[in-house]
Amino acid sequence: MDNLIDLVKPTTDDLVKHNISSEQWQEFSTLLKQRTHVYREENARLETVLTKLKILNNEIKLLADISNDVSKLIRHSLTDIIDMKRPSTHYSTTLTQPERLRKHNNYVSKLKICIKMYVNLNERLSKEIKFIKWESDQSRVKLSGILNLSSQEVQQLEEKAKKYENELLKFEKKYPWLKDPQFNLPNISKEIEMLRNLKETKEKLARDLSIYQELKPDIKEAAQQLADLKEEHKHFTTKIQDTNKC
């Protein structure tokens, strides 16, 4: 890829003809090389992680889509660059200078969007991996504790579990509505997640509206607005009365 970009590098005369500075070309060329290298590394790393953990199945398709988009961007960019190396009469009939600049800006914008998507996906993966590692550590601790239990301790736990089941049955007989499927743990978890989202929305609104908390109304301005409204209402009422007389 890097060799291909260097191969189609325009000459100084080509850059001058099309009002492109060598710095602009170098910046674009460097950006393309860096992004291509980053995407290759990130694709390989993320695909390995996703395969091992078997999580974020939707993101696997997302990675493929991003990879395809990047490939298209690179192909279009190189096509545009190769066209620029052709005779100026041919190139001038295909794209004007503003169109080339617009396409160049579009490529850069799409690359930045892809970078942002990768960063967000990396953050989400980091959180998922951290949580799974925590669960794994907790499971090891609990499993180690269970394996080290004596037969007497196991018997005590079984008796405790049996007492708990009996108490639960009594509680369900006293409150039969607990058997309603809507109170199952998965449904309760959904409701809790909904409440958590509502709480976050409320806190965000509170932060957004906090800037208006210390504002005080302008009494004079409010009085003037009220007087204007009364005058407008009076004028409108008079107009209706005149219309009815006619």
Q: What would the two tokens of residue 68 be?
A: 């395809």
DSSP string, 154-221: HHHHHHHHHHHHHHHHHHHHH-GGGGSGGGSHHHHHHHHHHHHHHHHHHHHHHHHHGGGTT----HHH
Alpha helices in the chain (DSSP H): 2-7, 12-17, 22-53, 57-85, 88-94, 97-147, 151-174, 185-209, 219-245
pLDDT, residue 199, reads 92
Residues 111 and 120: their CA atoms lie apart, in Å, by 14
pLDDT tens for the 246 residues of the chain, in order = 455 455 456 667 766 776 777 777 778 778 877 877 777 787 777 777 766 665 555 555 555 555 565 556 555 555 555 554 444 444 444 667 778 788 778 877 887 887 888 888 888 888 888 888 888 888 888 777 777 777 787 788 889 999 988 888 888 888 887 777 777 777 788 888 899 999 999 998 888 887 777 666 677 888 888 888 888 888 888 887 777 666
pTM of the model as a whole: 0.28
pLDDT, residue 208, reads 82
pLDDT, residue 126, reads 84
Residues 57 and 79: their CA atoms lie apart, in Å, by 34
Amino acid at position 149, single letter: L
Residues 50 and 224: their CA atoms lie apart, in Å, by 65
pLDDT, residue 89, reads 44
